């Protein structure tokens, strides 16, 4: 099979790779079936990779969001996908409360229609995108990424979206644009905890422009083959898989290009605890706890053995070069 890779590392999937929603199967079932078959080990492992690449069962709760399998390097971890019910009931979305169960309980008030994302600042072509137009800007890809929260839990989710780089290229950043700021919706009428004093609203996050251009940084519209549930940041969020979860802003309404490092919500709330970079790094402790291990939600019970956290959350091969020569203890 021939896949063309362009200079940015994007692979353009051919049509036969488009995953029909109907063929999603449970991975364990397929593995069991393969173990009892007569297939040779090599064939089984090849088939296993194919099977795991499309293991996701569509939950059937929200509108379907068709996607092609991503060809971006590192975009499909082989790990077991977190159950939909776990990924959608244990969340951080402080606009809807600080308890992990709050977003699932409260985020039904979020109003996602209509939704506009303003892209402005140091760009040649600033624009206001209606969600529908943003969705159409590039083909939707499925990417199975780990996401690790700074508090120590992690999950593996089949996200649907496209590289943020596609949008960035479209608006043509000016030469002095060095950073990208992501601003979340802050509507006290529909978000009950906006106005509470835990954070400075709106929730803001930021990336250096070369980080934002890395093909792994995903502008995300869906998960598990469907549009995002409100508690996971509908209708559009970021997923930056090599950074702690809080860098992945939810329900984004504005993307702004700047020449100065943007202030970020968590950095403003606790400067010594949350730096601008916030790369997943098992060797750099949070001031109040170790970051060396993690628990997978839904899978690891409270007393189960924890798993080792990987450098850059396992995406070292794809992103380490962004930080060459930087002291990652200082730039935490």
Ligand X SMILES: Nc1nc2c(c(=O)[nH]1)N[C@H]1C(S)=C(S)[C@@H](COP(=O)(O)O)O[C@H]1N2
230's contact among Mo ion, ligand X, none, with CB below 5 to 8 A by partner kind, is: none
Interaction with Mo ion in 21-40: which residues (CB under 5 A)?
Answer: none
160's contact among ligand X, Mo ion, none, with CB below 5 to 8 A by partner kind, is: none
Comparison of 92 and 106: residue with beta carbon closer to Mo ion: 92
245 lies in the site for Mo ion, by CB under 5 A: yes
How many amino acids of this chain bind Mo ion (CB under 5 A)? 5
The binder of Mo ion chosen from 92, 230, 278, 279 (CB under 5 A) = 92
Residue 146: burial class (beta carbons within 10 Å; 0-12, 13-18, 19+): buried
| CB-based contact 158:75 (threshold 8 Å) | no
248's contact among Mo ion, ligand X, none, with CB below 5 to 8 A by partner kind, is: ligand X
97's contact among Mo ion, ligand X, none, with CB below 5 to 8 A by partner kind, is: none
Contacting positions for ligand X (CB under 6 A): 91-95, 147, 149, 184, 203, 232, 245-246, 248-251
Which of these segments, 91-99, 170-178, 276-284, 288-296, binds Mo ion (CB under 5 A)? 91-99
Kindly state the smallest distance separating residue 44's Cβ from ligand X, in Å.
33
| CB-based contact 225:56 (threshold 8 Å) | yes
The binder of Mo ion chosen from 149, 157, 180, 186 (CB under 5 A) = 149
Residue 292: burial class (beta carbons within 10 Å; 0-12, 13-18, 19+): middle
246 lies in the site for Mo ion, by CB under 5 A: yes
Tell me how far the alpha carbon of residue 296 is from its chain's centroid. 16
Residues 6 or more apart whose CB falls under 8 angstroms from that of 40 comprise none
Comparison of 147 and 219: residue with beta carbon closer to ligand X: 147
Alpha carbon distance 250, 156 (integer Å) = 17
Kindly state the smallest distance separating residue 149's Cβ from ligand X, in Å.
4
Residue 246: burial class (beta carbons within 10 Å; 0-12, 13-18, 19+): buried
**Residue 5 CB coordination number (10 Å):** 12
Comparison of 7 and 189: residue with beta carbon closer to ligand X: 189
| CB-based contact 63:229 (threshold 8 Å) | no
Comparison of 162 and 244: residue with beta carbon closer to ligand X: 244
Kindly state the smallest distance separating residue 151's Cβ from Mo ion, in Å.
6
Residue 212 phi/psi, 5-degree rounding, is: -65, -30
Comparison of 214 and 248: residue with beta carbon closer to Mo ion: 248
Kindly state the smallest distance separating residue 250's Cβ from ligand X, in Å.
4
Alpha carbon distance 234, 131 (integer Å) = 11
CA torsion angle 220 171 165 228 (round to 10): 0
Query: What residues line the site for Mo ion (CB under 5 A)?
Result: 92, 149-150, 245-246
């Amino acid at each position: 099979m021939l896949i063309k890779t362009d200079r940015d590392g994007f692979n353009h999937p051919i049509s036969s790779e488009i995953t029909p929603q109907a063929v999603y199967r449970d991975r364990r079932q397929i593995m069991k079936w393969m173990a009892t078959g007569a297939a040779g080990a090599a064939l089984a492992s090849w088939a296993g990779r194919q099977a795991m690449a499309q293991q996701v069962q569509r939950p059937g709760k929200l509108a379907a969001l068709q996607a092609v399998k991503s060809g971006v390097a590192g975009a499909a971890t082989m790990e077991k996908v977190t159950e939909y019910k776990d990924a959608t009931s244990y969340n951080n979305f402080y606009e809807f409360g600080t308890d992990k169960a709050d977003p699932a309980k409260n985020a039904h008030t979020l109003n996602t229609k209509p939704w506009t994302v303003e892209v402005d600042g140091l760009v040649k072509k600033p624009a206001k995108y209606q969600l529908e137009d943003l969705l159409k800007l590039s083909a939707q890809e499925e990417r199975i990424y780990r996401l690790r929260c700074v508090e120590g839990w992690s999950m593996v989710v089949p996200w649907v979206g496209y590289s943020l780089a596609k949008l960035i290229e479209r608006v043509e950043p000016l030469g002095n644009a060095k950073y990208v700021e992501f601003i979340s919706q802050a509507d006290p009428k529909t978000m009950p905890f906006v106005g509470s004093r835990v954070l400075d609203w709106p929730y803001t996050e930021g990336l250096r422009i070369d980080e934002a251009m890395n093909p792994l940084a995903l502008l995300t519209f869906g998960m598990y083959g469907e549009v995002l549930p409100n508690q996971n940041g509908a209708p559009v969020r970021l997923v930056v898989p090599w950074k702690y979860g809080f860098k992945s802003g939810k329900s984004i309404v504005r993307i702004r290009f700047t020449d100065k490092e943007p202030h970020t919500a968590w950095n403003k709330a606790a400067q010594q605890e949350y730096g601008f970079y916030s790369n997943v790094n098992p060797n750099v402790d949070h001031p109040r706890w170790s970051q060396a291990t993690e628990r997978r939600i839904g899978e690891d019970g409270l007393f189960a053995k924890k798993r080792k956290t990987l450098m850059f959350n396992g995406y070292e091969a794809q992103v380490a070069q962004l930080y060459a020569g930087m002291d990652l203890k200082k730039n935490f």
